[in-house]
Chains A and B, each alone.
Chain A
Amino acid sequence: MNTVDTLALSEYVLHLADNALVLGQRNAEWCGHGPILEEDLALANNALDLIGQARLLYQYAAALQGEGASEDALAYFRDASQYRNYTLLELPHSTALAPTARGERDYAVTIVRNFLYSALMVLVWEQLQTSGDAQLAAIGAKSLKEARYHLRHARDWLVRFGDGSAGSHARAQAALDFLLPYTIEFWTATEVESAAFAANIALDLAAARPHWEALVCDAVLEATLTLSPTQGFVPTGKLSVHSEHLSFLLAEMQSLARQHPGAQW
């Protein structure tokens, strides 16, 4: 592999890692606050799966970068302007643009986001399983099983919410209307993604999009919800230009490591 490929690979791996960590951190916010005990555990399981994926990816990114890079440094000592996750994943669990209270968390937002993201990641991991990179293929094989369960869990609740009471239907529709436009970012290839794809280590976006849309469409129909148009605004999280929410999330997540650098426990 030449230098250009290694650079593209490490940046692409970092993008995957940031996605997993940021959504893992978001979903972990439900720990101890879940709507029912079983869902509290389910979301904590989901968050731990994602953080586990993030660790493997950060370790790999650090190995590719060399020069003393480490998974902890990548996770805890980069600022929002260096994170490459999709904007979708850093948004709070709320359709309010500036939620100020924990009580404003809406489980419909959590479920819809997990559904939209895991539907994508099932396709990503499926493809990476057979990628030209052995390490990424191994991470893909492990993560695919987790993503399939996340998709089943989120899809199941999406249908229950949408096809449930008038109140749950309205909240699921509001969450879908709010989050769907952010998925545009999945399909706008960055230079890193194009280079990674050329090196056979990334998802073929053009080929994957109809599969993802079919997955989403099928579930949304079953949930008696409607898909809103998604033209217009294109989020830029994977280019490291984020919403205001990411820095708050990182501040909470990174504060301990930054106050006690190198701490062991």
Chain B
Amino acid sequence: MTPSPPQASASLKEWPLWEVFVRSKQGIEHKHCGSLHAADAQQALQMARDVYTRRQEGVSIWVLPSAAITASDPQDKDMLFEPAVDKIYRHPTFFVIPDEVGHM
């Protein structure tokens, strides 16, 4: 079954918002590239194709209802992310990544 957002509406102005993720080539993850309004998931997928992949940007598309995303509050930024700033030892910068690994 395709997901549909909680309060889908017939009115054009109230079409729910969808987030679009495009994979630019095999082996690369889907990246967020924007959002659009559509009546349901299938339509969102079709519109994403026409809006976001016209210039050969993608080989695969995901759409998901924006309402399904739970986002962190920008006001919590300091509390959530500042504490990591001085802990550079968490970056694995002392390892050499072999070329064969490719994207990591």
Report whether B42 and A156 are in contact in the complex, using a CB–CB cutoff of 8 Å.
yes
Is residue A199 contacting chain B, with contact meaning CB distance below 8 A? no
Q: Which of A38-46, A106-114, A170-178 touches B? A: A38-46
Chain B 2-40 per-residue mask, 1 if CB under 8 angstroms from chain A, else 0: 000000001010000000000000000000000011110
**Cβ of A153: which chain B residues have Cβ within 8 Å of it?**
46
> Given A36-B12, A165-B10, are A156 and B43 also a contact pair (CB < 8 Å)?
yes
* Segment from B47-55, B62-70, B94-102 that makes contact with A: B47-55
Q: Are B50 and A42 in contact (CB under 8 A)?
A: yes
Count of A-B residue pairs with CB < 8 Å: 29
Q: Which residues of chain A (130-181) have a CB below 8 Å from chain B?
A: 149, 152-153, 156, 160, 164-165
B2 to chain A, nearest CB (A): 13
Note all chain B residues with C-beta closer than 8 A to A38: 36-38, 47, 50-51
| Residues of chain A with a CB closer than 8 A to B43's CB | 156, 160
By secondary structure, the B interface counts as: helix
Q: How many residues of A contact B (CB 8 A)?
A: 14
Is A160 in contact with B39, judged by CB distance below 8 angstroms? yes
CA of A38 to CA of B12, assembled, Å: 12
Is the beta-carbon distance between B50 and A41 smaller than 8 angstroms?
Answer: yes
Contact A45-B54, Cβ < 8 Å, known A38-B36, A38-B47:
yes
Contacts of A36 in B (CB 8 A): 12, 37
9 A-B residue pairs with Cβ-Cβ distance under 8 Å, sorted by A, are A38-B37, A38-B51, A41-B51, A45-B50, A153-B46, A156-B42, A156-B43, A156-B46, A164-B10
Q: List the interface of chain A (C-beta within 8 A of B).
A: 36-39, 41-42, 45, 149, 152-153, 156, 160, 164-165
5 closest Cβ pairs, A-B complex: A38-B47, A42-B50, A41-B50, A41-B51, A45-B50
